[in-house]
Amino acid sequence: MAVLKISKREKLGTRQTRRLRLDNLVPAIVYGHGQENQAVSLSARDIELAVRHGEQLLKCELDGKEQNFLIKDMQYDYMGHTIIHVDLTRVNLDEQVDVTVPIVLRGVPVGVESEDGALMQQLAELNIRCVVTNIPEELRVPVSEMHTGDVLRVADLELPEGVTTGDDPELAVASVSVVVEEVEAPAEEAAEAPEPEVIGEKAEEESAEGKQTDGEQA
């Protein structure tokens, strides 16, 4: 685990935050363990690299000594690509922490390969509790033995040793369902259109009626 260098922020405010980002630094807050919150900054490249590798526990140099921090929250820009703020909490390496890790499905289910089924993932992340040094980067869940109609639930997950979850054991993680093709209903026969009115004929009828009326009056 690489050691990230973080620095105290003496000046706060929107203008200073913009200046930090122009210098490729990310503003952050350090808190926890009964100590005062501390405004700091760290290299944008370093934190993005750590996140890309799935690291949640960081070893950082602050005030001339190494300390351990857990990434508790991150804010991204409106595009969802660039980290613009980080929340870090102080941790001891032997303490239990609550974190969220991604669920990654591995393999192609039997129900997809030979039973015309489709794999659906209902749960993308799992809330877990474990020692801070035992946080998995991701939970890899094999699904190759699943048939159509099968549902994989939280209770079915094999968690690493020392890792527990408080999520509802009946929550569906993934399922394989039969793909039903939609059959278009036959179009209803169009209602018989009324016979078009011929303007000339109507004029002739009116003219004939007029002559008949004149004759009767005479």
Question: Of the candidates 31, 39, 59, which has an alpha carbon nearest to the alpha carbon of residue 47?
Answer: 59
Q: Between residues 186 and 49, which one has the greater pLDDT?
A: 49
* Contact (Cβ atoms closer than 8 angstroms) between residue 59 and residue 41: no
pLDDT tens digits, one per residue of 78-120 = 888 889 999 999 999 999 999 999 999 999 999 999 998 999 9
Residue 203 domain-assigned? Answer: no
* 198 assigned to some structural domain: no
Would you state the pLDDT for residue 197? 55
Q: 67: which strand partners?
A: 60
Segment 13-62, tens digit of pLDDT: 788 888 888 888 899 999 988 888 889 999 999 999 888 888 889 988 88
Is there a contact between 71 and 95 (Cβ–Cβ < 8 Å)? Answer: no
Specify the 3-state DSSP secondary structure of 45. helix
Element spanning 22, H or E: helix 14-22
> What are the helix (H) ranges across 134-198?
none
Please check whether residue 212 lies inside any domain of the structure.
Answer: no
Please identify, among 60, 91, 122, the residue that sits at the C-terminal boundary of a domain: 91
Q: Does this model's pTM top 0.75?
A: no
Does 85 share its domain with 133?
no
- Say yes or no: 19 and 83 in one domain: yes
Specify the pLDDT at position 62.
Answer: 81
Q: What is the pLDDT of residue 182?
A: 63
Instruction: Answer yes or no: do 79 and 158 share one domain.
Output: no
What letters, b where the CB count within 10 A reaches 16 and e where it falls short, cover 4-26?
bebeebeeeeeeebeebeeeebb
pLDDT at site 169: 97
Q: Specify whether the CB–CB gap between 131 and 57 falls below 8 A.
A: no
Q: Which residue has the higher pLDDT, 194 or 154?
A: 154
Q: What tens digit of pLDDT does each residue of 149-181 get?
A: 999 999 999 999 999 999 999 999 999 998 776
Give 17 or 134, the one with higher predicted confidence: 134
Q: Do 83 and 13 reside in the same domain of the chain?
A: yes
pLDDT band at 202 (very low <50, low <70, confident <90, very high): low
Q: Which residues contact 76 (CB under 8 A, 6 or more apart)?
A: 82, 83, 84
Q: Residue 85 sits in which domain range?
A: 3-91
Residue 217: pLDDT over 60? no
Amino acid at 163: V
3-class secondary-structure state, position 21: helix
Among residues 57, 91, 125, the one where a domain terminates is 91
210 compared with 162, residue with greater pLDDT: 162
pLDDT of 11: 73
Instruction: Give me the pLDDT at residue 199, please.
Output: 52
Specify whether 61 is located in the same domain as 108: no
Whether 126 and 144 share a structural domain: yes
**For residue 70, what is the domain's CATH number?**
2.40.240.10
pLDDT exceeds 50 at position 218: no
Residue 199 placed within a domain: no
pLDDT of residue 170: 97
Q: How many domains does the chain have?
A: 2
Give the pLDDT score at 195.
Answer: 58
Same-domain check for residues 65 and 106: no
DSSP category for residue 136: -
For 51-77, write each residue's pLDDT tens digit: 888 888 998 888 778 889 999 999 998
Residue that wins the pLDDT comparison between 60 and 198: 60
Residue 191: inside a domain, yes or no? Answer: no
Among residues 56, 91, 126, the one where a domain terminates is 91
